[in-house]
Chains A and B, each alone.
Chain A
Amino acid sequence: MPWGSQLDPDTTMGGPRGQFPSTQLSLLEAVSAGDALPNEALERVSALYWKPVYRFIRVKFRKNNEDAKDLTQGFFATALEREFFARFDPVKASFRTYLRMAVERFAATEHAAANRQKRGGGIEFEPVDDQALTTESPEEIFEREWQRQLFALALDDLRAHCEASSKRLQFDIFEAYDLTCGDRPSYADLAERHGIPETSVTNYLAWARRMLRQLVTERLRGVTAGERDLRDEMRRLWT
């Protein structure tokens, strides 16, 4: 049974998606540039990680939509207060792993405290019957949501870039071919639909895919701790 089929609907929160990103500083560069992480860097992190954190908490701690939202908001607020980012050591783990483990600790503590208040101690989970059944672990769901959010953000960037640079046709062709859920149209169909040669269709597609990769890389650069971390994350993403 797919995840979420028995849950109340997910939140639509998750922070606004950014505009076309300029070349971004890595997290470490951003941290070392000042005492606190600049707002722009924080926005990058929360734009990418809000949804994965929220879904991780929902599945791992069996929370309903509202509680999971509160915990997610609480995590990001606490993380900022406690100089969470400054304590990150890229030698020990990737930023993604560091963040997930911090979420787990934070949510477990909050969950235990809430249960103590309510029942006088001990962690008690909600009955499993009321929760979603899934074959994926919470960690796998976190990873999958992270990928989904990363590509969603990069697609928003691509769309914004195409609109700003009069390349709407390129995006339309890419959307019709690579983003469609059902049967893909053929190159010939797309060429006929837009009144252009087939070679232009393939060129536009290649361009859009190249741009998407660039934009994904840029988004990743903003939430990784330098070139090595970036390459490791990219390898994980492509394979």
Chain B
Amino acid sequence: MDLNDAVLDRLRHVAALPDLTGTRYELESEIGRGGLGVVYAARDRHLDRRVALKVLDSTLAAEAQLIARLEHPSIVPVYDTGMLPDGRVFYTMKLVAGARLDHYLERAPSWGERLRVMRRIGEALAFAHTRGAIHRDLKPQNVMVGAFGEVYVMDWGVEAVAGTPAFRAPDACPDRRSDIYALGALLQFMLPLSAPPALRAIAAKAMRADPAARYADVTAMLADIERFQDGLAVEAWSEPLWHRLRRFAARNAVLLWLLAAYAGVKFLLFFLRNL
């Protein structure tokens, strides 16, 4: 049988579809390709609900076990794991309805909203680090923002994942600091060109080539972002005097207006008295 390229590609595609015979799931459609596997939408017949079903390219069951250990509002919960007749491992998880972070940013969300999403991502990462897990491949394509603003960090990595170049730290052995680098790269990605220098400095500090020069942990980085939002000086940037004055003015605007009003009234009274 002679196969032309189009038929061959179709056969490669259909033959790769997971055989879910004997499981409680029915395949619906492919929804994405991630680190070492393909994600499909499927229906759980027992519970009559839609789930995301990820088929791993090899026997990397460790990925499912890793995620199942991480119970956090911003980490997609794993429901079930199993093995296909051909030996591939799969796991099912909550099917998140929403937009990938890179698509979400195309809607030009506000400053506050961008930083809220950033902090949710950071919190998930900080939690995972306390459980001894690292992500290894944090990038916009691995973050989902749900219809109600919920944020999910997905595709938690296994050792075989090398990371994505623009978000990958130049570290020989990936560890928590490599995730901090990726978080900095993600912050930089989320910032528009008009972003304040303090925020850019936070991203730059997280992305230092020397891991020791980055933030000690994700919590420290989040604290710096919070300081920025509160109008305080950030650890990552020694700001010039005029920046400090402007920030002081912004934080104490009411007080300064009252002082100005008081001075104005005093001046007016002085002026009237000397008429």
B contacts, CB < 8 Å to A: 1-8, 10-12, 14-17, 19, 21, 33, 57-59, 85-87
Contacts and interface: CB of A to CB of B under 8 A. Distances in A.
A217 to B, nearest CB: 6
A217 B86 contact: yes
A179 B21 contact: no
The secondary-structure label for the interface of chain A is helix
Categorize the interface residue count of chain A: 20 to 34
Given A214-B86, A231-B58, A231-B87, A151 B8 contact: yes
Given A209-B17, A239-B57, A181 B8 contact: no
B7 A181 contact: yes
Given A210-B21, A231-B58, A238 B15 contact: yes
Contact of B10 (A178, A214, A234): A178
Contact of A213 (B3, B4, B15): B15
Contact of A178 (B5, B11, B87): B11
B16 A213 contact: yes
Contacts of B3: 148, 151-152, 155, 179
A138 B1 CA distance: 23
Interface string A144-157: 10011001100110
B120 to A, nearest CB: 31
Contact of A147 (B6, B8, B10, B16): B8
A125 B8 CA distance: 32
Contact of A238 (B6, B16, B85, B87): B16
Nearest to A208: B14
Contacts of B57: 231, 234-235, 238-239
A212 interface: yes
Nearest to A235: B57
Nearest to A227: B87
Interface string A204-221: 000001101110110000
B86 A181 contact: no
Contacts of A181: 4, 6-7
Interface in A166-199: 178-181
A234 B19 CA distance: 15
B42 to A, nearest CB: 14
Nearest to A237: B12
A210 B12 contact: no
Interface of A: 144, 147-148, 151-152, 155-156, 159, 178-181, 209-210, 212-214, 216-217, 227, 231, 234-235, 237-239
A86 B39 CA distance: 40
Nearest to A158: B1
A238 B4 contact: no
A239 B58 CA distance: 13
Contacts of A151: 3, 8, 11-12, 15
Contacts of A156: 1
A238 B88 CA distance: 12
A82 to B, nearest CB: 33
Given A151-B3, A151-B8, A178 B86 contact: no
A147 B155 CA distance: 29
Contacts of B10: 178
B90 to A, nearest CB: 14
A226 B187 CA distance: 44
Given A148-B3, A231-B59, A210 B8 contact: no
Contacts of B17: 209, 213
22 contacts: A144-B5, A144-B8, A152-B1, A152-B3, A155-B11, A178-B7, A178-B11, A179-B3, A179-B7, A181-B7, A210-B19, A213-B86, A216-B15, A217-B86, A231-B57, A231-B58, A231-B87, A234-B57, A237-B16, A238-B12, A238-B15, A238-B57
Contacts of B21: 210
Nearest to B16: A238
A220 to B, nearest CB: 11
B1 A178 contact: no
Residue among B3, B21, B59 with max Cβ neighbours from chain A (10 Å): B3
Nearest to A179: B7
Contacts of A159: 1
